[in-house]
Chain A
């Protein structure tokens, strides 16, 4: 049995910025490339930069009515575009029409969705499947290319915690999350890191389309297992902050008994799970309203099969 995966060319590639209108690195990069595409030009690939939520970008806010990056559900995508909907649902339908339809053979091959986080996650590539060998080879290539800068790989296949992202319209969706950066702020180091990752990502696609074979490899990943909320009172108000020992410690081990939260009146709340876990998205500003203080992951290793382009 051949272990090689033969895949069609990744000809249609999109780069999404402004899915959250106040995450500035992606907004800035996409606007830059809409004006001048030289940096993103690669032979054999059409690269389309695109601002997904222009009204939110204009107001420098995360969203207008609802979170666009949760809007691409089957229910929403089956609605009729002409009817009156919240702004982001209308946008999701438009985006699905231009870059999808999601799940069809006409959909874009690859979409990179650019995000920032207030969490100390460094550079993180987010995958929605552990079986997407093109994506696994791509993240492996990127990690090697940017070393010694580290790039973590987060896989969210959790049945309840996975969400319907704007990039999920594509056959091969990839999220780029770079932090820490406050919302509404553009930091030079974060901006340059995101630009560098995309440069290598596009190089990979050009090489793949050109016929290069990528041998089997392993990718160390973090797999989402659980979401942890802040302690709250009966009115739903938070009663504690992320503990100083946990703050900024994304990807570091959290052991049973380690401090997790510090209440406003000075009490420590400890992690009571049975195993060592690896938290991330620690203290992301946008997640207070989504009942999430951080996300718990477990470490794993995925195997990427050999891939080669099959030109039809």
Chain B
């Protein structure tokens, strides 16, 4: 009897995986395959029963605000046991009312374990108090009581299409959902961005759920709702819920290899050393070119005096969040990512038999 293996590229940090050997006695098979095979088993996961759709985490990112308000007008649960319970949430109502990103501090940086446990007093910034309220309502973060999935809706002034942003590269639910959107929305670029941050230090709202991602759609100016961006985001949310219903009803989603983008570093604008004011704009060849590979020697910035500054890194990387207006104050002109392949196993909802 011959045992034939094919080694696929595999991320050893995943602990949920079980490998099984496929035993093949066929000589024909032996002739064809000359390398090793590990076939992944299907991963059983609990149903996604409670889904939070959050908008207005930044109060001037309008598509999510209006989308959640529309959801709030509808029934909470659709017919059918496999349909999840949908919780539409306006995350930062005071900022939404003023059409500002935040009141005192960025809400989407307040969800680290440390900030969620800060004792609240009169002087505690509004957003920290609100983060703790949301953690009670949707969490607690890291516990079995938290909602199954958080989909946090955002807009960006950068030309990023639709991106799902997560702190995890092994949240199979989120990754399969991303693959589903890529397949069903071929006219929109859909990408998965991974911020490599441990759960306790993950600072954004979606880290409160058992699974989660920010759904970022751009370009759109803050304070504006564009019909084309609305169309993209509503279709994205519809497909997220569509995948969840099918998953909950027992559909098996097969294993796949997916390309994701992992954050490597951030790059700031050139600044005047005394005043800290920026001294250049994003170069016209980089502006609106999110996810176009940047090579050493490519232009990055055009100074006000007409000089070009170039990318000096040796490793080609992918820029994103290029010229996001909210990031000027964070000292970020754009971010850089590395593309990598991830093996996503087959998933199926856990049933009584499989427990």
Given A118-B221, A182-B222, A185-B157, does the pair A262, B227 have CB atoms closer than 8 Å? yes
- Is the Cβ of A31 less than 8 Å from the Cβ of B277? yes
Q: Does B314 contact A (CB under 8 A)?
A: no
Instruction: Output the least CB separation between B141 and chain A (Å).
Output: 31
In-complex Cβ contact of A285 among B223, B228, B231 (8 A): B223
- Is the Cβ of A285 less than 8 Å from the Cβ of B287? no
Given A185-B325, A187-B281, does the pair A285, B224 have CB atoms closer than 8 Å? yes
Point out residues on A near B: beta carbons under 8 Å: 28, 31-32, 60-61, 118, 180-189, 191, 237-238, 241-244, 247, 262, 264-265, 283, 285-286, 288-289
Per the 8 Å Cβ criterion, residues 286-306 of B in contact with A are: 287, 302, 304
Contacts of B219 in A (CB 8 A): 182
Q: List 8 A-B contacts (CB under 8 A).
A: A118-B221, A182-B325, A184-B325, A185-B323, A187-B281, A187-B282, A188-B287, A244-B227
Rank and list the top 4 A-B pairs by shortest CB-CB distance, nearest first: A182-B221, A184-B325, A285-B223, A188-B281
Contacts of B226 in A (CB 8 A): 241-242, 247, 283
In-complex Cβ contact of A28 among B99, B157, B228, B304 (8 A): B304
- Is the Cβ of B284 less than 8 Å from the Cβ of A183? no
Contacts of A241 in B (CB 8 A): 225-227, 230
Contacts of B283 in A (CB 8 A): 188
Given A182-B325, A264-B70, does the pair A188, B224 have CB atoms closer than 8 Å? no
- CA separation between A60 and B282, bound complex, in Å? 19
Given A32-B304, A183-B222, does the pair A242, B281 have CB atoms closer than 8 Å? no
- Is the Cβ of B328 less than 8 Å from the Cβ of A184? yes
Counting contact residues on chain B (CB < 8 A from A), the size range is 20 to 34
Given A60-B328, A184-B222, does the pair A247, B228 have CB atoms closer than 8 Å? yes
Contacts of B157 in A (CB 8 A): 182, 184-185
Given A60-B329, A183-B221, A264-B70, does the pair A247, B281 have CB atoms closer than 8 Å? no
- Is the Cβ of B325 less than 8 Å from the Cβ of A183? yes
- Is the Cβ of A244 less than 8 Å from the Cβ of B277? no
- Is the Cβ of A189 less than 8 Å from the Cβ of B284? yes
Contacts of B323 in A (CB 8 A): 185-187
Q: Taking each of A118, A238, A262, A265, which has the highest tally of chain B beta carbons within 10 Å of its own beta carbon?
A: A118
Q: Does B118 contact A (CB under 8 A)?
A: no
Instruction: Output the least CB separation between B196 and chain A (Å).
Output: 28
- Is the Cβ of A285 less than 8 Å from the Cβ of B221? yes
- Is the Cβ of A244 less than 8 Å from the Cβ of B228? yes
Interface string of B253-287 (1 = CB under 8 A from A): 00000000000000000000000011001111001
Nearest neighbor of B326 in chain A, beta-carbon distance: A184
Contacts of B224 in A (CB 8 A): 118, 182, 283, 285
In-complex Cβ contact of A242 among B221, B227, B278, B302 (8 A): B227
Q: Taking each of B231, B281, B287, which has the highest tally of chain A beta carbons within 10 Å of its own beta carbon?
A: B281
In-complex Cβ contact of B287 among A32, A187, A247 (8 A): A187
Given contact pairs A182-B157, A247-B227, a sample of 11 additional A-B residue pairs in the complex whose CB atoms are under 8 Å apart: A184-B325, A189-B287, A191-B281, A237-B69, A241-B230, A247-B226, A262-B227, A264-B70, A283-B226, A286-B223, A289-B99
Given A241-B227, A242-B227, does the pair A180, B221 have CB atoms closer than 8 Å? yes
Nearest neighbor of B223 in chain A, beta-carbon distance: A285
Q: Does B126 contact A (CB under 8 A)?
A: no
- Is the Cβ of B227 less than 8 Å from the Cβ of A243? yes
Nearest neighbor of A284 in chain B, beta-carbon distance: B224
